[in-house]
Amino acid sequence: MEPSIIDRPYYLQRLTEHRENGLIKVILGPRRCGKSFLLEMYRAKLAAEGVAAHQIVTVNLDDFDSRNLRKAEGLHRHVLELCPEPSCTYYVFIDEIQMCPGFQDVLSSFSRHRNLDIYVTGSNAFLLSGELATLLTGRYTEIRMSTLSFAEFHRACAMDGLSPQQDLLRYMQIGGFPAVVPYRDNPRAIQDYYDGLVSSIILKDICFRLKVRDAALLERLSVCLATSIRSVVSPKNLMNVLKNDGVDVSLPTINTYLQALEDSFFFHRVPRFDVRGKAALRTEEKFYLCDTGFRYAMTSTPVKDYGRLLENIVYLELVRRYKKVSIGRAGKSKIDFVAESPDGFAYYQVAMSVLDPATLDRELAPFKAIRDAYPRYLITADAIGAGRNFEGVRQVDAAQWLLSDQKSGL
């Protein structure tokens, strides 16, 4: 299945903001989230703005016809031959850059040509922020990409006529990979797609890079994390869970595998933040999936706890909107998310429903331990009650909040 070309205005704007800034633009994100299609849309945007065809240089190293360019010398020579005029700006797009051994030297050389505006994508197993920081210090900027947000998904499926609330339930289950959109009413095709994607991430992005021999163990660990979203986990607890299932694994191995899952953008590791002490607590962490579609596909069980999926989705949206997102703690109270921006902090609790008074009281209780006056929000899937204010805590409808482009909701 090939991904549909779906408008990604947020990321197009990010590329536009970094245009001709003298840095290499590196697009990072989960496998198949739409990085290559983003560059295709950006090239079309440049052309529509009057950039001449000869100024747009495209190399797809994943194409068999480009196999001769998979050597550093050949790629370097090819691009420079297509960019002969020093006084002319050329926009150079290189897809799957990791297929060229020694690509870092090529990019380093390109960065010295002020008339080249460079954009690259590649497998996250090869283009990770830590490695790039060493290879291209000060000469690149990351643009981290995710799968379709709910707003993008809802626009792509507008012809179905579902209300935002109805569509959010569907989005929770099938996820936001662009390739899923054309098959949204075909559960078998979606399952097959996710099965193949999990295999690609585990076998190609992780096992190949780290020379991991036990792919089955890595997959079992992934399933443990997928079923534990919304729960605080630790490497030691995960090790004990696996040992109880008869898997003999060491703590260093668990730590290595967790880092690999994070580096591949399969999972997001989120530390807890002490609201009162304004410090991160690395011993208390949660892991969220890069896309909720993986949870159903990996666990092969009907989704019942939509609250876990909603929290995962809210986290991914907060990451798009804020500089930094953590899970929070204020004294003994635990807060779902602390979002940080140049303007300060914002606090978020997430619940599928708070129509039950006891549930509402439980979700509001953590806010009472916060001493500052930064904004506070309770995000729920309840259409009833949205807009209510509980002593400074604003209740927000999840679907409408996800469709908005404001940090505060609606």
Q: What are the beta bridge partners of residue 218?
A: none
Alpha-carbon span 36 to 39, nearest angstrom = 5
The DSSP code for 287 is E
DSSP string, 70-96: SSHHHHHHHHHHT---TTS-EEEEEES
pLDDT tens digit string along 199-247?
A: 888 877 788 766 777 888 888 899 889 988 888 888 899 999 899 888 8
Per-residue pLDDT 10s for the chain (410 aa) are 444 578 899 999 999 999 999 999 999 888 889 999 999 999 999 999 999 999 999 999 988 888 899 999 999 999 999 999 999 999 999 998 888 888 888 998 999 999 999 999 977 666 655 566 677 777 888 898 999 999 999 999 999 999 999 999 999 999 999 999 999 999 999 999 999 998 888 877 788 766 777 888 888 899 889 988 888 888 899 999 899 888 889 999 999 889 888 888 899 999 887 775 555 556 678 999 999 999 877 876 655 678 999 999 999 999 999 989 999 888 788 899 999 988 889 999 999 999 999 999 999 999 998 888 999 999 999 989 999 999 999 999 999 999 997 655 45
As to burial, measured by CB atoms within 10 angstroms (0-12 exposed, 13-18 middle, 19+ buried), residue 252 is: exposed
Cα separation of 352 and 170, whole Å?
14
DSSP letter (8 states) at residue 247:
-
CA distance 34 to 17: 19
Q: Which tokens belong to 45?
A: 């945007």
Ramachandran angles phi, psi of 301, nearest 5°: -130, 150
Query: By C-alpha distance, which of 278, 277, 276, 258 is closest to 268?
Result: 258
Separation between Cα atoms, residue 105 and residue 100, nearest integer Å = 10
In order, the DSSP letters of 117-165 are: EEEEE--TTTS-HHHHHHHSTTSEEEEE--S--HHHHHHHTGGG---HH
pLDDT of residue 276: 59
**Per-residue CA distances from 115 to 86, 92, 118, 142, 229 (Å):** 6, 10, 10, 20, 46
Q: What is the pLDDT of residue 259?
A: 87
Task: Provide, rounded to the nearest whole percent, the portion of the chain with pLDDT above 70.
Answer: 91
What is each CA distance from 368 to 123, 372, 390, in whole angstroms? 44, 10, 11
Question: Measured between alpha carbons, how far is 230 from 225 in angstroms, rounded to an integer?
Answer: 10
Residue 1 has a pLDDT of 41
Give bridge partners of residue 288 from the DSSP assignment.
268
pTM value is 0.90
Predicted local distance difference test score (pLDDT) of residue 300: 62
DSSP 289-356: ES-THHHHHHH-S----HHHHHHHHHHHHHHHHSSEEEEEEETTEEEEEEEEETTEEEEEEEES---S
**CB atoms closer than 10 angstroms to residue 378:** 25
Per-residue burial over 328-354, b = 16 or more CB atoms within 10 Å of its CB, e = otherwise: bbbeeebbbbbbbeeeebbbbbbbbbb
d(CA 94, CA 36): 9
Strand duo 389-390 + 393-397: pairing: antiparallel
Helix/strand/coil percent split, the chain, to 5:
45, 20, 35
Whole-Å CA distances, 264 to 31, 97, 218, 298: 8, 16, 13, 17
pLDDT value of position 278:
59
> Considering Cα of 164, then 167, then 169, then 175, what sign does the dihedral take?
negative
Domains of the chain: 9-144 (3.40.50.12060), 160-410 (no CATH)
CA 101, CA 174: separation in Å to the nearest integer?
A: 36
In contact, 156 and 319? CB cutoff 8 Å: no
Round to whole Å and give the CA distance between 198 and 267.
12
344-354 residue pLDDT tens: 899 999 999 99
Q: CB of 314 within 8 A of CB of 307?
A: no
User: Integer distance in angstroms from the first to the last C-alpha of the chain?
Assistant: 36
